[in-house]
C-alpha cells in the first residue's frame, strides 16, 4: 500500500515545487519591474543645488540643476531670521563698495524652467574701490 502512495506523493511534491518556483519567478519579475520604474523616474528628475562663488572681486550665488530632467520652478523664497524675500539681493546690504552687477528675479506666480545641466545666476556682486 505504501508503494502505491509513493508515486502519487512524488507527483504532488514535484507539482508543488513547480508552483513555488513559478510563484518565486513571478515575484522576482514584479520586483525587478518596479525597481526599473523607480530608476527611470529618478533619472528624469531634476537635482537642484545652490552654490556660491567667492573671490576678491566677485561674489555670486547660483542655482544649478545637476539632474537630467527639467526643474519647474514655481516659487523661490529666501529667509534670514524672520525676514523673507524673493529677491536675494535684499538680504545683502554691503555698503557703497558693492555693486550688484546682476540678479535674477523670480516673480511670484510665474513659472520658470531650469533644464538639466543648466545654471541660473542668482546674484552677482563686483567689489568696487571706494573713492574717498
Please indicate, yes or no, whether the overall pTM of this predicted structure exceeds 0.85.
Answer: no
pLDDT value at residue 28: 94
pLDDT value at residue 119: 82
Place of cell 524672520: 82
- Which of the 8 DSSP states describes residue 131? P
pLDDT value at residue 19: 94
pLDDT level of residue 93 (50, 70, 90 thresholds)? low
> pLDDT exceeding 90 applies to what percent of the chain?
17
Each residue's pLDDT tens digit, 37-82: 888 887 788 888 888 777 776 667 788 888 888 888 888 777 777 8
- Helix (H/G/I), strand (E/B), else coil: 130: coil
pLDDT value at residue 41: 80
Phi/psi of residue 54, each to 5°? Answer: -135, 125
In a 13 Å sphere around the CA of 61, the CA atoms on its Cβ side amount to 13
Helix (H) or strand (E) holding 100: strand 98-103
**Residue 130 predicted with pLDDT over 50:** no
Amino acid at each position: 500500500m505504501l508503494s502505491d502512495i509513493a508515486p502519487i506523493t512524488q507527483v504532488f511534491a514535484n507539482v508543488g515545487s513547480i508552483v513555488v518556483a513559478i510563484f518565486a519567478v513571478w515575484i522576482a519579475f514584479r520586483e525587478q519591474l518596479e525597481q526599473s520604474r523607480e530608476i527611470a523616474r529618478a533619472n528624469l528628475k531634476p537635482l537642484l543645488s545652490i552654490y556660491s562663488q567667492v573671490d576678491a572681486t566677485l561674489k555670486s550665488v547660483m542655482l544649478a540643476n545637476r539632474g537630467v530632467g527639467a526643474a519647474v520652478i514655481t516659487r523661490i523664497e529666501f529667509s534670514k531670521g524672520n525676514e523673507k524675500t524673493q529677491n536675494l539681493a535684499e538680504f545683502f546690504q554691503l555698503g557703497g563698495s558693492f555693486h550688484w552687477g546682476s540678479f535674477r528675479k523670480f516673480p511670484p506666480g510665474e513659472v520658470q524652467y531650469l533644464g538639466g545641466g543648466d545654471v541660473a545666476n542668482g546674484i552677482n556682486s563686483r567689489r568696487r574701490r571706494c573713492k574717498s
